[in-house]
């Protein structure tokens, strides 16, 4: 789950590219569905925190390398109209104007980008609501319940119907601003209170806008009809069974969640950001098993902000659009064809596999140009045709 303090990631409007006085979204902006379907691959997402290994680029240029991102509303320049912020159901009109200018800047840089805002419902910082407010969750002694050990946040009582309606109204305000394409709900599972919550949020945001929920590596059949995509924050990736679970959940989500689908798969490094086989493994798993978005990031237990990551050259656009569905090879690897090449994902626990091609292809992992390539266990590769 996120330990990222979105309130710390506020965009300073004065540094946004683009003119603030021209705030309307361009008339020719693609629809949400068009942006999802028009993008090339590999397709990477940003969960709160940025890629931090890109010098001499501002935060918008870095963010726009990703095809989908979410933050708290403050990152976009939006401000709630009253304080404490958790009580507000409206946004300051002036902040909406400035944030729309930011949206225009991002879409100029990446016309297929999808923008989402996290709506907090499960936990929040101590100043989010008044200390004695009824919407805080409390234990038998009346003390506020910690959100998680490392984060310093406290749980809220989303079993309260009034609070669920309040969360839905905040989601409505955010999407009606025009700044984002939908909302993100963290810490997701299939209990009855979350079912009622997502029903209310779906009614509030309407049919067109997106809802993404953090289900980790689990499926949520009860709430699937209301959700467009999972944030699969896959904190378990050290065994073959973990990777099978990720693959099966991703396939289920691609088949069962609400279209248009925006499934986002994140795994964490084991030793360092230089675990390049693991980066390639999650990238190629996402490419072969879905039309989704991938991320390889730092583990949450680190003291730094969660989900920080490198930008890897392996992620640079190269494949174009998919040409067909995933196929499992006799050797146990998975293969999928794209306009500009072939993707191979070799699962953890499988032996090294060999790819024999009719023409010489370039390996994105090694730079080797040949007809014959090998891919190790828990790894993957992209083999590009000659231009």
Residue 211: pLDDT band (50, 70, 90) is very high
pLDDT of residue 28: 80
Assign 317 a pLDDT band (cuts: 50, 70, 90): very high
Choose among 387, 386, 382: nearest CA to 41.
382
- pLDDT score for 13: 36
User: According to the model, what pLDDT value does residue 16 have?
Assistant: 40
Query: So where are the chain's domains?
Result: 6-122+158-317, 321-387
For residues 124-135, b (16+ Cβ closer than 10 Å) or e, as one string? bbeebbeeeeeb
Per DSSP, 314 falls in state G
Q: Which tens digit of pLDDT belongs to each residue from 232-256?
A: 999 999 999 999 999 999 999 999 9
Question: Residue 21's pLDDT is what?
Answer: 35
pLDDT, one tens digit per residue, over 156-203 is: 999 999 999 999 999 999 999 999 999 999 999 999 999 999 999 999
What architecture is domain 6-122+158-317?
Alpha-Beta Barrel (3.20)
The pLDDT of residue 17 is above 90: no
pTM assigned to the model:
0.93
Fold equal for 6-122+158-317 and 321-387: no
Mean pLDDT of the chain: 93
Q: How many other β-carbons are positioned within 10 Å of the β-carbon of residue 14? A: 7
- Is the pLDDT at 24 greater than 50? The verdict is no
Alpha helical stretches, state H, 145-212: 161-176, 192-205
pLDDT of 269 strictly over 50: yes
123 pLDDT tier (thresholds 50, 70, 90): very high
Strands of the chain (E only): list them.
45-47, 68-71, 114-118, 123-124, 154-155, 182-185, 210-213, 229-234, 264-268, 293-297, 327-328, 334-338, 341-346, 353-363, 369-375, 379-384
Nearest to 136 by CA among 174, 171, 108, 163: 163
Q: What was the pLDDT predicted at 387?
A: 80
Please compute the mean of the pLDDT values over residues 346-361 and round it to a whole number. 97
Are 163 and 156 a contacting pair, CB within 8 Å? Answer: yes
Bond from prior residue into 244 cis (ω within 30 degrees of 0): no
Query: Is residue 387 reached through a cis peptide bond, with omega within 30 degrees of 0 on the bond before it?
Result: no
Q: Rounding to the nearest 10 degrees, give the CA dihedral for residues 98, 100, 106, 110.
A: -170
Q: Alpha-carbon Rg of the chain, whole angstroms?
A: 21
Residue 384's DSSP bridge partners are 341, 362
Other CB atoms within a 10 A radius of the CB of residue 198 amount to 25
The bridge status of strand 68-71 relative to strand 264-268 is unpaired
DSSP line for 218-241: ---TTTGGG-SEEEEEE---SSHH
The CATH code of the domain at 321-387 is 2.60.40
Residue 365, pLDDT > 50, answer: yes
Question: How far is 253 from 232, CA to CA, in rounded Å?
Answer: 10
Which pair of structure tokens corresponds to residue 25?
């979204």
CA torsion 31-35-37-40 (nearest 10°) is 160
- Name the 3-class secondary structure at 296: strand
Q: How confident is the model at residue 149 (pLDDT cuts 50, 70, 90)?
A: confident
Instruction: Quote the pLDDT of residue 353.
Output: 98
| pLDDT exceeds cutoff 70 at 300 | yes
Tokens linked to 269: 């490094």
| Average pLDDT of the residues in 362-387 | 96
């Amino acid at each position: 789950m996120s330990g990222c303090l979105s309130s710390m990631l506020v965009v300073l409007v004065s540094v946004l590219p683009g003119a603030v006085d021209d705030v309307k979204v361009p008339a020719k902006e693609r629809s949400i569905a068009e942006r999802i379907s028009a993008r090339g691959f590999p397709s990477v997402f940003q969960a709160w925190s940025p890629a931090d290994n890109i010098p001499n680029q501002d935060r918008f240029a870095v963010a726009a390398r990703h095809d989908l991102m979410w933050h708290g509303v403050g990152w976009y320049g939006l401000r709630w109209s009253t304080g404490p912020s958790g009580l507000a159901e409206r946004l300051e009109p002036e902040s909406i104007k400035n944030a729309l200018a930011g949206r225009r800047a991002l879409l100029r840089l990446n016309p297929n980008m999808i923008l989402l805002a996290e709506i907090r419902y499960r936990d929040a910082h101590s100043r989010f609501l008044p200390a004695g407010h009824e919407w805080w969750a409390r234990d038998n002694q009346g003390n506020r319940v910690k959100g998680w050990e490392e984060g310093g946040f406290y749980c809220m009582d989303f079993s309260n119907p009034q609070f669920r309606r309040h969360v839905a109204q905040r989601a409505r305000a955010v999407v009606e601003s025009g700044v984002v394409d939908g909302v993100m709900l963290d810490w997701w599972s299939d209990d009855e209170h979350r079912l009622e919550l997502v029903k209310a949020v779906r009614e509030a945001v309407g049919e067109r806008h997106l809802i993404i929920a953090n289900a980790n590596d689990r499926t949520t059949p009860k709430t699937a009809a209301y959700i467009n995509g999972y944030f699969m924050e896959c904190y378990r990736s050290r065994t073959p069974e973990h990777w099978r679970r990720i693959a099966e959940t991703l396939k289920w989500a691609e088949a069962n969640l609400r279209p248009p689908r925006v499934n986002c798969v994140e795994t964490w490094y084991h030793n360092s950001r230089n675990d390049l086989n693991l980066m390639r493994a999650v990238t190629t798993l996402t490419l072969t098993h879905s039309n989704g978005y991938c991320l390889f990031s730092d583990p949450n237990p680190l003291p730094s902000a969660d989900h920080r990551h490198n930008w890897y050259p392996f992620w640079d656009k190269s494949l174009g659009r998919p040409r067909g569905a995933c196929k499992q090879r006799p050797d146990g690897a998975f293969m999928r064809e794209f306009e500009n090449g072939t993707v191979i994902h070799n699962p953890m626990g499988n032996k090294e596999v060999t790819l024999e091609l009719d023409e010489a292809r370039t390996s994105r992992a090694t730079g080797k140009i040949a007809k014959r390539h090998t891919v190790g266990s828990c790894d993957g590769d992209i083999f590009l045709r000659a231009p």
